[in-house]
Amino acid sequence: MLEPGELQVPGGGIPEELSQLARLALSGDEASGEQDASGAPDKTGFPDPVYVMAANIFQGIRIETSPEKLLIKYGSEPLRPAAGESEDESLQHLAYELAFSTLKYQGILETILIDSSIFPSTTIPDHLSSLIIVMLYDFQDRKFQARLFTDNQQCIVEVQEVENLLNSFKTKLAAALARYRIKHDALSIYHILPETVRNQERRASTLPLYAWINALKIRPEEVYHSLKKRGYTKVNTILNIGGKVFAVDQHCYDVLIFPSYLKSDLLNIDLFKDHKLIFQDKSRSLAVHSVKALLNVDDDILMVNTGSWYTVAHMSNLISKNSKIFVCGVQAQAKHPDLKKLFTKMGCKNIEILPESFLNIEWKDNRLQKVKVILLLPRCSGLGISNPVEFILNEHEDTDLLKDFSQGGTSEEKLRFLAQQQYEQLAHAMKFTKAQAVVYCTCSVYPEENEVVVKKALEFQDPGTKIQPYRLSPPVLPLCARREIHSSADKFFRMEPSEITNGCFLSVLTRERDPSETVSVKDVLARAAAKGLLEGIELGKSSKREKKKKSKTALPKAPTTDSKGIQTKIAEFLNRETNANAKRPLQPTTAKISPLQKSTIPVASSLQVRKPTKPAASPLVPAFMKNPSLPRPYERPSNLVRPRPEDKMVVLKPVEIVLPPVMFPLSPPPGIRPHIPTQHFYYGWFAPKTTMPGYHSTPIPRKAEKPKGNLPSSLRRHRRPWL
C-alpha cells in the first residue's frame, strides 16, 4: 500500500495555490448550478466496486495518444472486479456514467495530473493509471471533499491506495485545475467542452422518460388507475408542469411520458417491477408501430439488430398471437442467458431467435416464408441520442460509441464504414421475395447513414427478379406537428434531437403492387384496424357485405335479342348520319360552344371540335360503350362503326355526363328521324347503382315503371322517348 508521506513533493507558492483554490470553490458553485439545475444533493462519492468497473470501462474506450506525446502510461491488464458486484445493474449504470464523464475530460485530467507532479514523479503501477484518472474526476466533481462511507461498505485495496494518494495532493490538484481554467478563461471545466457535447449534456438533463404499456399483462385503463392511486395525474403535456404527472404520447398510443426527475420514484412502483411498464427510448417504439401499420393478418416479422430485447417484446405486444417474430443479428445466449425467462415474465410466446447473422440468412429460407415485413435497426453512430449511457446499456451497443459522443462527432472513416454496413443490410433485406415492406430506423443525424443509404439501396436494387420492385412510401405514423409535416415532405420521418425527444430517422419501403394481385377484404380490414380506423365495427360481418357489394357491382349480362336489334338499328342510324354529313359542303365553324357544352366533353386537348350541324354521336354512343362492337364517340366519321378492342376501358376525366332515358324494348317508328339538339345536356340525373366505373351507362327503366316525381322539370318536357 502506498504511503502518503512517500508521495509528498516539495514545492512553494502555497499561498498562491490556496488563493486559486478559493476561487475554484467559488466557480465550482457556479458550474454546479448550471450542471445540476435539477437540485440534486451534493455528491458523496461511489462505492469501491463502481470505481473499479469504471476504470476497466475507461481503459477500453480511452482516446489513444501518439507515442511522442504520451506522458501517462496505461496498463493493459484490467482490474479484478469484486465478486457479484459486476452483475448489479444499478452499479453498472453508475460505472458507465463515471467512465463516460472521465472520457469527456480525459485531456484536462491528464494535464492536471502532470501539472500537479503526480506524474511522473510518483512510482505508480501502470495498471492503476485508469483508476487514478477516474477517481480524480470524481474527486474534483465533489469539489475535493472527502468521500462519505456507508455501513458495511466493501473496501478494495487498490481504491484505498489511490484515494490516499489523491488526498495527499489535494492542494496541488486544486491549484492545477484553477490554472487550467484561467488559461482557457472558463468558469469551470464544463465550459471547456465542445459546444456539441455541452448541448448533448443539457438535453440529457431534461429529456423525459418514455415507457410503453405491456398489453399482454395489463390494460391501459388499469395502468392509469394504478398511477392515479400513487398520486400521478394524467395531463395532455408534461412540459412546464411540475409534480407527479404523465401524458400519453401522440405518435404511439401505448407509450406514456414522465418527467425525468420522477425516475427514482417510478422504479419503486410495482408496474415497473412486474414488467407492466417498460422504460425504452421512443425511437424504438416508433419503429415497431410503423411495422404494425404495415402488417396483415397472421403475417410474420423479421427483426434485425434489435439490440434491446424490450424492442422485441414490444413488437410481440402489437401483433396477433398467430404471427411470429424472428430475431437475428444478436448474440442472445452470450448477453442474456435467462432470455426465455425474461420473455416468460413479460408474457411473450411468439418469438424465435435465429443463430445466424442476417447476411448469412438466404431469402429462400423455409422458416421465413410468411415474413412480410422486415424491421432493420442497424448499428449507427447514434449521435441523435442525448444520453449515450442509457442507449448503450438498453440497446447493448458497443462501448466504442462513447468515444464518438465524448468528441462531439464521428470520424469520416468510421462513418463510411457504418454506412457501408447499413447499405449491405438494407440491400440484403430487399432480396427477400416474400417480404412486402422494409422499415429502416436509425438514431443518427448524419444523412450518410439515413437518406443516402435508402436512396442508394433503391437505385441499385436487382431488376432481374420477377417480383415487384421497392419504392419509397410516406410515413405510416401520424404527423402531429407542422414541423413533422414539413420534414416528412420527402417521405422520410425525422425527429431532431431536442429537450423532449432523441433524434430518430425512419424510412418505409414497400413493394409496388402487382396489378394481377388481389387483396382480400380480411387483409384490408386488418390493416385499417391497425391504423385505428375501425373503432366499434365488427370485422366478422365484412364477408357478407363484400358478397353483397360484389353482387351489386357485377358486370351486366349479355344483351337479349331485342336489345341487339335495337343496337343494330342505332348503328344504321349513325351510318346514315355520317353519310349525310359527308355529302354536305364544309363551312367554317362560327358557332360558339357554351361553357356548359365545353365541360361535358371529357376528351384530350388534341381532339378538335366538330361542326355543330352534325348530330354528334356523343349523347348516344356512351350508352353502349360496354359492348366493344359499338363505335367510340368523338372519332372520325370513317371510324364510327369500326370496332376496336381497346374500347373496353376508356380513361376519362372525372366529369359526369347524364343522358336522357332510352325506352326499351320499343324501337322508333320507321321513317321518323330523331333530331337531337346539341344544347340538351342534363346534369341533374342520378346514375343507377349498378354503373361500373369508367363507363357511361344509360339507365333502363323497368317495365311499367313510372317516372319519379322529383325529376328536374327540364326532363319532363320530353313526352316521348328519343329513339
Task: Tell me, yes or no, whether 373 and 504 share the same domain.
Answer: yes
How would you classify residue 671: left for phi > 0, otherwise alpha for psi between -120 and 50, otherwise beta?
A: left
Q: How large is the average pLDDT for residues 217-235? A: 95
533: in domain: no
More confident residue, 178 or 81: 178
Q: Phi first, then psi: what are they for 562, rounded to 5°?
A: -65, -45
Rounded to whole angstroms, the Cα distance separating 360 from 100 reads: 35
What tens digit of pLDDT does each residue of 227-256 get?
999 999 999 999 888 899 999 999 999 999
4: in domain: no
- Of 176, 192, 208, the position where a domain reaches its end is 192
Cell of 415: 462513418
Task: Tell me, yes or no, whether 419 and 315 share the same domain.
Answer: yes
Q: Do residues 350 and 324 make contact, with C-beta atoms less than 8 angstroms apart?
A: yes
Domains contained in the chain, number: 2
pLDDT band at 40 (very low <50, low <70, confident <90, very high): very low
In this structure, the chain runs to a length of 723
Average pLDDT, the chain: 75
**Shortest CA distance to 146 belongs to which of 167, 162, 130?**
167
Q: How large is the average pLDDT for residues 455-467? A: 84
Rounded to whole angstroms, the Cα distance separating 229 from 237 reads: 20
Q: Is 694 exposed, middle or buried (0-12, 13-18, 19+ CB in 10 A)?
A: exposed
Task: Tell me, yes or no, whether 373 and 474 share the same domain.
Answer: yes
More confident residue, 668 or 130: 130
pLDDT band at 106 (very low <50, low <70, confident <90, very high): very high
Q: Do residues 305 and 358 make contact, with C-beta atoms less than 8 angstroms apart?
A: yes
Q: Phi first, then psi: what are they for 319, rounded to 5°?
A: -110, 170
Q: Phi first, then psi: what are they for 372, rounded to 5°?
A: -110, -25
Half-sphere exposure of 705 (CA within 13 A, CB side): 10
Task: Tell me, yes or no, whether 160 and 291 share the same domain.
Answer: no
Task: Tell me, yes or no, whether 355 and 501 share the same domain.
Answer: yes
pLDDT band at 188 (very low <50, low <70, confident <90, very high): confident
236: in domain: no
Q: Tell me how far the alpha carbon of residue 17 is from its chain's centroid.
A: 55
What tens digit of pLDDT does each residue of 568-621 get?
666 665 566 556 555 554 444 433 444 434 443 433 334 344 444 444 444 434
DSSP-derived pairing of the beta strands 371-376 and 300-304: parallel
Q: How large is the average pLDDT for residues 164-193? A: 91
443 included as an active-site residue: yes
Q: Specify the CATH number for the domain of residue 446.
A: 3.40.50.150
481: in domain: yes
- Of 493, 511, 529, the position where a domain reaches its end is 511
Q: Do residues 286 and 252 make contact, with C-beta atoms less than 8 angstroms apart?
A: yes
Q: Phi first, then psi: what are they for 493, rounded to 5°?
A: -100, 125
Task: Tell me, yes or no, whether 285 and 187 share the same domain.
Answer: no
369: in domain: yes
Cell of 260: 425525468
pLDDT at 196: 86
Is the predicted pLDDT of residue 175 greater than 60, yes or no? Answer: yes
708: in domain: no
Task: Tell me, yes or no, whether 345 and 479 share the same domain.
Answer: yes
Is the predicted pLDDT of residue 273 greater than 70, yes or no? Answer: yes
pLDDT band at 558 (very low <50, low <70, confident <90, very high): very low
160: in domain: yes
Alpha-carbon distance values, 460 to 331, 373, 428, 451, 668 (Å): 30, 20, 12, 14, 65
> Residue holding cell 435467462?
338
- Of 142, 170, 192, the position where a domain reaches its end is 192
**Shortest CA distance to 354 belongs to which of 310, 324, 378?**
324
Helix (H, G, I), strand (E, B) or coil at 472: strand
Task: Tell me, yes or no, whether 448 and 306 share the same domain.
Answer: yes
Task: Tell me, yes or no, whether 301 and 184 share the same domain.
Answer: no
Contacts of 613 (CB under 8 A, 6+ apart): 581, 584, 587
Q: How large is the average pLDDT for residues 362-382? A: 90
Domain that holds residue 111: 42-192
Contacts of 483 (CB under 8 A, 6+ apart): none
Q: Do residues 305 and 377 make contact, with C-beta atoms less than 8 angstroms apart?
A: yes
Cell of 511: 413493394
Task: Tell me, yes or no, whether 180 and 286 share the same domain.
Answer: no
Task: Tell me, yes or no, whether 346 and 453 share the same domain.
Answer: yes
Contacts of 211 (CB under 8 A, 6+ apart): 255, 256, 258, 266, 272, 277, 278, 279, 280
**Which stretches of 169-281 are DSSP H helices?**
170-183, 195-206, 220-229, 263-267, 270-273
More confident residue, 414 or 673: 414
Rounded to whole angstroms, the Cα distance separating 433 from 429 reads: 9
Is the predicted pLDDT of residue 647 greater than 90, yes or no? Answer: no
Among residues 380, 441, 443, 504, the one annotated as catalytic is 443
Task: Tell me, yes or no, whether 184 and 298 share the same domain.
Answer: no
pLDDT at 631: 41
Cell of 217: 399483462
Cell of 581: 354529313
601: in domain: no
Q: Phi first, then psi: what are they for 293, rounded to 5°?
A: -65, -15
Rounded to whole angstroms, the Cα distance separating 75 from 210 reads: 40
> Which residues, listed in sequence order, are joined to residue 682 by a DSSP beta bridge?
658
Contacts of 500 (CB under 8 A, 6+ apart): 206, 207, 208, 239
Q: How many other CB atoms sit within 10 Å of the CB of residue 45? A: 19
Radius of gyration of the chain (CA): 38
